[in-house]
Structure 1
């Protein structure tokens, strides 16, 4: 078991125990534009990709808020990378998803996405 696997296992355990009251369901969506279809002479319709997981929502500290890149109303979300999966209808697949700027998560728009050096968790900046 590598460092990332150990870190993710420890964080998942913390999500289940110590942080259980702070952990919330995370539902995300991404609009995927249609591709050009040369046979039809136009684009195929856009589709929506859905994903789900769990994470911890929090606020930014006063010293991090600059009024342009990070607003006082922005929300920080920590999500384990191995727990963010595609949804196929109501079923959750095993396929992992990387959140992207402009995706929607739990009513917010993603402004920025970063991952920790061990590639175990996403840190996502959200804005209403």
Structure 2
């Protein structure tokens, strides 16, 4: 087991532990709309497609020293999610496709402004704004 898998396993355990982070962990639901482009097979523009993904994470706020008033504002929300728990679809199954959140997605009623990952590629930190 590599470092990434170890971190993800430990965080998943902490996310589920009633004596750990379980009370702070919330369900996360995201969506991304992909505009349809020209499709010669149908002789016109293809309809837009919506990708939906779910997982769980911890919503938090930014520290006062991180808030600059423009890039990060006081009402912005910081979301930490495990990369191996963010899947396309409504339920986790063996065939589910992992999803990487992108700027412009809608997540739990917020708009995604920024997405970063930790050096071990185990978690996403997502900046959200209403």
* TM-score (normalizing by structure 2): 0.93
Q: Distance in 2 between matches of 1:85 and 1:124?
A: 16
Q: Deviations over 1:40-78 (max 9, x none)?
A: 332101011100000000000000000000000000000
Counterpart of 2:15 in structure 1 is 15
Q: Distance in 2 between matches of 1:106 and 1:81?
A: 17
Q: Distance in 1 between matches of 2:117 and 2:97?
A: 18
Q: What is the total number of aligned residue pairs between the two structures?
A: 126
Q: Distance in 2 between matches of 1:10 and 1:39?
A: 48
Which structure is higher in strand share?
1
Counterpart of 1:26 in structure 2 is 28
Q: Which runs of 5+ in 2 are unaligned?
A: none
Q: Deviations over 1:4-24 (max 9, x none)?
A: 000000000110110000000
Greater shift, 92-101 or 58-67, is seen at 92-101
Q: Distance in 2 between matches of 1:44 and 1:66?
A: 41
* TM-score (normalizing by structure 1): 0.95
Greater shift, 5-14 or 28-37, is seen at 28-37
Give the 4+ runs in structure 1 shifted more than 6 A. none
Task: From 101, 110, 120, give the equivalent of 2:122.
Answer: 120
Q: Which runs of 5+ in 1 are unaligned?
A: none
